[in-house]
Structure formats: C-alpha cells, structure tokens
A and B are shown apart, each in its own frame.
Chain A
C-alpha cells in the first residue's frame, strides 16, 4: 500500500508540533520556578524581615541582616552555634592542626595548578572549614555544648561515613558467591522505602529502656533507670542508628550495582595472573568503583542535610537542643511563629549544604571522575 506524504499545511497539529521544543520542557520549568525558585527568593524576604501577624495578613518590616546576626552573635548564638567559651588547650591544638592542613592544601593548589576562580572557591571552602574547626574547638573540645549547626554536620559527616562503610561492606559481601544472594538484596533494600516517620517511632519503641525488647539487657547492665533523653551523646548516636538503618540500604544497593558492573574478565585476568582476593579488591575492583562511590556519597550527603523527621520523633531535639538538626531548628522556630528567624535558619542550612556539597563535588567527585577519564 502506498500512503501519500501529507501535503505541508499550516494546521493546528502542525503548529503544535513546531512548538514541541517549548511545550516539552515548559511544564517542568514552570513548576520548578513557581514551587522551588520563587519560594526560595521569597524566603530571602522572610529572612530579612521581622514578620508580624495582623488582622489582614502578615506585615513585613525590613530589618537587614538582624535575623542572621542573632544566630551568629545575638541571643540565638547558643542555640545555633553553641556556647562559645574559653578555648581549651585541645581546642588550640585542633585549630593549629586545622589551619596548618588548610594552608598546606591551599599552598599545593597555588603551586600546582593556579586558577584565580578555583582559588577563590578554595578560599571560601577553606574559610567554611576553619569556621567549623573553630566551633569544634570552642565547644566540643572545651567542654561546652554545641549548637544545631554542628549537630547537623555530625549527622551528615559521621552518620554518612558510617553508613557508607557498612553499606559498601555489605555490598561487597553480596557481590561474593554466596547462597541466597537475591534474598539478601531485597531484604537489605527494604528499610530505605519505609516512611521515616515509621522508622523513628519503631526505633523509639525498640530502644525504650523499660518497655522495649532489650529491657532485660538494660536491666542486666544496670541501666534500668537511665533514659536516652538525659545523655546528649547517647541521644545523638541513637538517632544515627535509626538514620543508618534507613539509609545504609541506599549505599548498599548502589555500591552493589557498581561492584557488579566491574567487568568479570578483569577479575578473572587478575586471578589468573596470581592475585589473591584481597589484591583483586584493592588493585582491580576498588579503583574502578571510586568515582561511583564518591557520587553515591554526595547524593547521600545532600539528603542527609535535610534530616528532620528522626530527631523530631525520637528525641524531639532533646535533651535540650542536643539532637536538634538545623531543619528541626527552623521548624521549631516556625512553630513559635517567628517566621523571619525560621527562614534565616533555613537559609543558613541551604548555604551550608551548598557549600559542603559543592566543595565535595569539586574537590573529590570531579577529581575522581577526571582521573577516570584522563
């Protein structure tokens, strides 16, 4: 059968097709503009204002950076940064080591591959790093309580590292010739998909000292009268455990896929050439999955900064503010109807997330990818 080529004519369908390049992408862009970009800008207005409730809606009063100033130097400092006391000898030691490392890192960059924009970027990252070092020195190492900023970083850096190590280890085990591989795959994946709310409550219940399943154990070690909500560090680790239960599956499943994507004949060639299993892993497998590992870690960090459900449920941020993440901090301030402060804290979280993640991306992920494609 022969079908005639349609005569070219300006019709509704034709017009529609010619503008396909617009309508294909316009909905996504519009949605993001309205519900992500626009609110982000709007948030700046909140963060720079004192917001009052009146009969006919909210009234904004422009107050410059007062909301931010409060977090860093004003009466919110203890909450956000921590109690900045006298720096102890250990604190000074950390500052010394930290600044030496930072200077060495900058020096190496200047010597090896100087580019002014790269240098500015590294200066910003270095400044952020030194600020965190200073905070650590004057709170943790000087026996003072720290604020929500360091709590968030603790969840992200310590929590994600633990999850990464365990997740990768499990993935390596499951890439070995073991029986029931697909069962373990599915089972280990499941926690990622459980609602964080459920995870929070489940762990709160399980680790309950008097009614939880480990009650005999607590009794045995003499902790029957103790409570998670009294010890800041116990409470923080408590949350890291819950968070890890949920997120190790993510690392696990991604790293397992990465391990399985290493060509089989590379491993076989190494085995014939005489490498032991340890050598095969160290010399052949690991170098090939490092770029993926760095990316997976980055994704995990991005999600990690948003942590809010678990501390809210498991400890309500307590004892005091010991387990309060910045998201939760912002949420609590919002509940106290201080919209300006809430937006300021949220903005600080955004800035920190971008700073940490882009530093990690530029100095770790890109480096690995470049090495891979060099």
Chain B
C-alpha cells in the first residue's frame, strides 16, 4: 500500500478564503453574498417595475401620460381615478359584460378541460389500450376524403361527415380483425401531449369555418370548447404523472370491495391527487383567462373577453389610451397574481415529475 496521503492542513484562513469561502457549510461567503443579493435585488426591480408602471399609469390621466414620465404618486403627480371611472362607470356596459364573459369562459373551459383531461390521464395510467394502427390510418383517410369532398364539391358538411363516419365503422367491422399493428398507452399519451406543439394559427381558420358552419361564432360555447382543447395536453401530461405515482393497492382494494371504475376514480383517486389537481386547475384557469388569439378570431361582440377589451384601447385616432388600458390590465392581473402565489410550488413539481419520467 502506498504511503500517499492527500491532506490539506489549514487552521488559519487567509484573506482570500475569508472573502471567497463560506465560513461554514450552509452559509455563503461575503463576496458570494454581495453578488447574489445584488443580482436578486436587480432582478426583483426588473420584475416589479413593469407591474408598478402599469399600476401607476392607471391612476394618471391623458395629460399626465403625455407630458412625460412621472414616477411616484402623490409626490410628483396627483393620481386621478379618470381611467378607472371611464372604464368602470362610463363604459361599464362594455367592460362588465367582457369581464363576466372572461370569468364564465375561463371557469367553464377549465372545468371541462380538467374533468375530461384527468379522466383520460387516469385511464392512460391504469387501463391498457391497444388501438390498431390500421384503424387509425383508415380514420385519417376517411376524414381527409370528407374534408376534400366538402371543400371542393360544395356538398353539405353534415352529409359528407356522416357518410365518412358510417363508412369508417363499416370498414373497421369488415377489415378490423386483419390489422395487426398495435399502439400502446405510451403512444396515445405522446399523441395527446404532442398536440401542444400545434401553433394556434394552423387550426384557427378551420375552427372558425367549423363554428361558422354550425352557427356558433361569437358564442361562449365556441370559446369554451376551443380553450379546453388547447389546454388538454397540459392537463393530461401533468395529471398522468400524479395518477401513475399513486399506490395501486388502494384502487385494487376498492375494486375488491365492489366499487365501479368511475366510483374509484371519483371517491379515491381524485381526492388523493387533490394538490396536483388544484395546481393543474389553477394553471389552466390562468392560461384561459389570458388567452387572446382564439378570442380575436372567434368572438366579435357578444362573447368578447377582457384581453379584447385591452387591445381595443389601441384603436382610435388618439393613439393608445394608456391610462384606461392600464386600469383593465390591473383588473386582469390581480386575480392571476393571487393564484400564482398558490401555484408556483406545484407547477414546478408537476413539470419536474413529467420531465424526469417524461
């Protein structure tokens, strides 16, 4: 055996060590502390300042905004409630409906999305699915035929869709058993999650056409459905992980006790994932609350949401009515900030679990 001894003897700390080394484990060195707190302070300012500016601008009027920057209310300018009054008193008949539209649409689409998404996520975590590859190909071909027929021949969409669907079921019955290739749960999960990659601009025109065909443009239902689908991948992705991590013994014991599949899901599984469910719900709610692009396309007047009201302040010859716009933005972001405080811990955990096992 060698006599090598790799020792580091040191009792007295040099100046460099005093500056750059932590005094003990679990503390930071003076230099590191200085750097860290400066960066944190700078970043806090960077995060807070835009929010601060929006808030104080909402208490300015046209003159104060146009004269140039004023920074601190009561000290270098006298705040007014002009913007707020204009929005919530004079224009109340426009803003309040938009506010309630936003609430209704965000809440309803979140509820739909979370219920449908977590059921699918649970099913994918616990039930084995084996869709046949051939059936899927058949479905794709049938829907393409239906779409092409509708677009180029002018046959009514209802007719082509029914024929294609009927043909699909007929062909599946006839040839289904000859198809060999199968997909698994992982493939379905990947398929659902990968929908998130779809840029909204790809689907928004056809979706617009579809709603037009059934007369649903500018309705709450249209936005609720579209928002729900847009966030379905996130819900399935996050919830799948929560479900897969539950001990299956609980469900097995409930099965032996005679509970139905839905009973197990409702009474045992959902309560157990309550924190995850709450986080997913909040996240979906916030995304729906903020959504803008689909709202621009699909709502013209009756179903207008808050983001549309914000953007509307940009129209007009007088330029942007900053003080009014900021009042609406403040109303929009206050609930979101409250939710975010509850949310941040869960989101990270959810994303992390998903990412690690992914």
**Do chains A and B stick together as partners?**
yes
Q: How distant is the Cα of A234 from the Cα of B136 in the complex, in angstroms?
A: 49
Pairwise interchain contact B205-A190, C-beta atoms closer than 8 A: no
Asked if B123 is at the interface (CB within 8 A of a chain A CB), the reply is yes
* A39-B202, A198-B310 as given contacts; A24 in contact with B329, CB under 8 Å: no
Pairwise interchain contact A45-B148, C-beta atoms closer than 8 A: yes
Pairwise interchain contact A24-B69, C-beta atoms closer than 8 A: no
Asked if A178 is at the interface (CB within 8 A of a chain B CB), the reply is yes
Pairwise interchain contact A201-B198, C-beta atoms closer than 8 A: no
Q: How distant is the Cα of A205 from the Cα of B39 in the complex, in angstroms?
A: 25
Most-contacted residue by chain B among A36, A174, A185, A188 (CB, 10 A): A36
Asked if A322 is at the interface (CB within 8 A of a chain B CB), the reply is no
Pairwise interchain contact B47-A346, C-beta atoms closer than 8 A: no
Pairwise interchain contact A60-B152, C-beta atoms closer than 8 A: yes
Within 8 A of A (CB), among B303-358: 307, 310-311, 314, 320, 322, 325-326, 329, 332-333, 336-337, 339-341, 343-345, 347-349, 351-352, 355-356, 358
Pairwise interchain contact B199-A41, C-beta atoms closer than 8 A: no
* A206-B50, A254-B355 as given contacts; A302 in contact with B210, CB under 8 Å: no
The residue of chain A having its C-beta at the shortest distance from the C-beta of B43 within the complex is A170
Q: How many A-B residue pairs have CB under 8 A?
A: 294
The residue of chain B having its C-beta at the shortest distance from the C-beta of A291 within the complex is B356
Pairwise interchain contact B120-A193, C-beta atoms closer than 8 A: no
What is the distance, in angstroms, from A163's C-beta to the closest C-beta of chain B?
13
Asked if A271 is at the interface (CB within 8 A of a chain B CB), the reply is yes
What is the distance, in angstroms, from A294's C-beta to the closest C-beta of chain B?
9
Pairwise interchain contact A24-B336, C-beta atoms closer than 8 A: no
Within 8 A of B (CB), among A23-37: 24-25, 27-29, 31-32, 34-37
Q: How distant is the Cα of A29 from the Cα of B232 in the complex, in angstroms?
A: 10
- Report chain B residues within 8 Å CB of A305: 199
What is the distance, in angstroms, from B99's C-beta to the closest C-beta of chain A?
14
- Report chain A residues within 8 Å CB of B43: 170, 188
Q: How distant is the Cα of A28 from the Cα of B51 in the complex, in angstroms?
A: 37
Selecting from A78-86, A107-115, A120-128, A350-358, the interface stretch reads A350-358
Asked if A189 is at the interface (CB within 8 A of a chain B CB), the reply is yes
Asked if B200 is at the interface (CB within 8 A of a chain A CB), the reply is yes
Pairwise interchain contact A43-B117, C-beta atoms closer than 8 A: no
Sample (10) of A-B pairs whose CB atoms are under 8 Å apart:
A28-B119, A37-B143, A40-B198, A178-B37, A189-B343, A193-B339, A206-B49, A254-B352, A257-B348, A357-B197
- Report chain A residues within 8 Å CB of B210: 34, 38-39, 42
Asked if A292 is at the interface (CB within 8 A of a chain B CB), the reply is yes
Selecting from B22-30, B90-98, B169-177, the interface stretch reads B22-30
Asked if B8 is at the interface (CB within 8 A of a chain A CB), the reply is yes
Pairwise interchain contact A24-B123, C-beta atoms closer than 8 A: yes
Pairwise interchain contact A211-B65, C-beta atoms closer than 8 A: yes
Pairwise interchain contact A36-B225, C-beta atoms closer than 8 A: no
Chain B 15-55 per-residue mask, 1 if CB under 8 angstroms from chain A, else 0: 00000011001111000100011011001101111110110
* A261-B352, A306-B200, A347-B202 as given contacts; A202 in contact with B39, CB under 8 Å: no
